[in-house]
Amino acid sequence: MSDSYDAIVIGAGVIGAAVGYELAKKGWKTLNIDRNPVAGYGSTSASCAIIRVHYSTYDGCALAYEGFHYWENWQSYLGAGSEDGLAKFVQCGCMVYKVDANNKLETVMARARELGVPMEEWTPEQIKERLPFVDTSRFTPAKALDDPDFGKKAGGQIYGAAFFPTAGYVNDPQLSAQNIAAACERKGGEFLYKASVAEILQEDGRAVGVKLEDGREIRAKVVVNVAGPHSSKVNDMAGVSDGFNIKVGALKQEVSHVPSPPGFDYENQGFVVSDSDISVYSRPETGNHVLIGSEDPECDPRIFVDPDDWDESFTDQWKVQVYRQAQRYPTLGVTPPVKGVTALYDASDDWIPIYDKTDLPGFYVAIGSSGNQYKNAPVAGKLMAHLIEACENGHDHDSDPIQFHLDHIGRDVSLGFYSRKREINTESSMSVLG
């Protein structure tokens, strides 16, 4: 292992590994550093790994649909010789309920049509044909469990749904990060595990490497912060936080696993569901279970924590989202013991990631990505490599945002959409839906 590289990537989650991979493919000598023992061991391992293709913003939808093509052709993207040992993309589709909170999906469906994303519209009757145990009543708005009106119906039925057949989920998110790390190593990239960054080295107003907690210094032409829930701490080390209009923080999240409604093979017949009427999302899970997460309604507390000192135990949030799901699936089993995952998201103010340079030359960020960017990891790696290369060649990205071509769908997007200096994006759902 060398003491000098072209690029040091802080983090070896699914996006960090992808950044290293794409730079290595360009001939850069790369080193990914992670405090964990293997790639994808941190927040990536707790990801619900949902691959969705719908968004209310043009850029979000374009990147997501581009990302689908990499998961669909996973082995080709990796340059892997065999499917053995590779994570698998389960293309079960995703149904999104039409509700008042998402403007009956008018904007989302318009984006899909604009970009050619395959889509079907379902009536409540068609939904019940696919999920016969569903109660299509309206319950909005989502309520806290101690609200006396919790579980009461709001009157009438939901308006229907849009179904996106190219969506789904990845069966093993940690393995997917390890797949990318292996691909990176085949291109000459290196990985250093069980190592923590203590300082961003600077000389003449430029990032020139990192100092590890054990005192070792490693030099590089550029440093890329992809540290997940620790990204704000790494920004503080670099002294760049004040240059960000959009902030990020470590947000505690809980995901629940419960058995499928009786008599239904949810694992093989179910699909990803976004239900903003009850503010939960779900997908099939191994063992004929339903994985349930929260869409972060206003009545739920958001718990931001110190990523080095937080309580990993479940709270009542586990029960809240399961009981909300039981409104839609009345025969759902909701009896403890608790099963699921608690983890940290690296969440930005508007739930849109920051893929950008910083005010410190040579220091770049791919942060604020947790909760809704797993699906975009391959694309994020490519766009970051493109951005870094352009900036290092003298392009002023702040005044003239870089354009990035999406090869599979043939569209161009402005990387200024992901700028650290942007204003809060009012088209965002301001939730995990991005």
Q: pLDDT tens digits, residue range 320-374?
A: 999 999 999 999 988 777 788 999 999 999 999 999 999 999 999 999 998 789 9
329 within 8 A of 261, measured Cβ to Cβ: yes
Dihedral of alpha carbons 265, 270, 275, 279, sign: positive
Rounded Cα distance between 209 and 231, Å, is 16
Final residue before a domain boundary, out of 323, 348, 373: 348
pLDDT of residue 23: 98
Reduce the secondary structure of 140-191 to three states and give it as a string. Answer: CCCCCCCCCCCCCCCCCECCCEEEECCCEEECCHHHHHHHHHHHHHHCCCEE
Domain annotation covers residue 76: yes
CATH number at residue 233: 3.50.50.60
pLDDT of residue 6: 98
Shared-domain flag, residues 178 and 323:
no
Shared-domain flag, residues 76 and 111:
no
Shared-domain flag, residues 269 and 242:
no
Final residue before a domain boundary, out of 322, 348, 374: 348
Shared-domain flag, residues 145 and 261:
yes
Domain annotation covers residue 427: no
If we measure between CA atoms, which residue out of 71, 158, 64, 67 comes closest to residue 112? 64
Angstrom CA distances, 119 to 24, 53, 104, 215, 278, stand at 36, 10, 15, 54, 23
Shared-domain flag, residues 52 and 180:
yes
Domain extent, residue 178, equals 4-83+172-246+350-418
Q: Is 381 exposed, middle or buried (0-12, 13-18, 19+ CB in 10 A)?
A: buried
Shared-domain flag, residues 41 and 153:
no
pLDDT of residue 431: 54
- Measure CA 47 to chain center: 7
Rounded Cα distance between 276 and 55, Å, is 14
pLDDT of residue 434: 44
pLDDT digits 0-9 by tens, 24-79: 999 999 999 999 999 999 999 999 999 999 998 899 999 999 999 999 999 999 99
Show the tokens assigned to 290.
């339903």
Shared-domain flag, residues 72 and 117:
no
Reduce the secondary structure of 391-417 to three states and give it as a string. Answer: HHCCCCCCCCCCEEEECCCCEEEEHHH
Look up residue 353 and give its DSSP letter. Answer: -
124 within 8 A of 158, measured Cβ to Cβ: yes
Domain annotation covers residue 424: no
Domain annotation covers residue 430: no
Rounded Cα distance between 238 and 231, Å, is 11
**Domains: count for the chain:** 2
Final residue before a domain boundary, out of 326, 348, 370: 348
Task: Tell me phi and psi for residue 344, to 5 degrees.
Answer: -115, 140
Rounded Cα distance between 259 and 110, Å, is 35
Shared-domain flag, residues 254 and 147:
yes
Rounded to the nearest 5 degrees, what angle is found at the Cα of 259, between the Cα atoms of 298 and 173? Answer: 70
Domain annotation covers residue 432: no
Shared-domain flag, residues 293 and 148:
yes
Shared-domain flag, residues 227 and 287:
no
Shared-domain flag, residues 373 and 225:
yes
Domain annotation covers residue 309: yes
Domain annotation covers residue 69: yes
The pTM of this model reads: 0.96
Shared-domain flag, residues 124 and 254:
yes
The pLDDT tens digits along the chain (434 residues) read 678 999 999 999 999 999 999 999 999 999 999 999 999 999 999 999 999 999 988 999 999 999 999 999 999 999 998 888 999 999 999 999 999 989 999 999 999 999 999 999 999 999 999 999 999 999 999 999 999 999 999 999 999 999 999 999 999 999 999 999 999 999 999 999 999 999 999 999 999 999 999 999 999 999 999 999 999 999 999 999 999 999 999 999 999 999 999 999 999 999 999 999 999 999 999 999 999 999 999 999 999 999 999 999 999 898 999 999 999 999 998 877 778 899 999 999 999 999 999 999 999 999 999 878 999 999 999 999 999 999 999 999 999 999 999 999 999 999 999 999 999 866 655 556 54
Domain annotation covers residue 429: no
CATH number at residue 136: 3.30.9.10
Q: Pairing state of beta strands 280-285 and 50-51?
A: unpaired
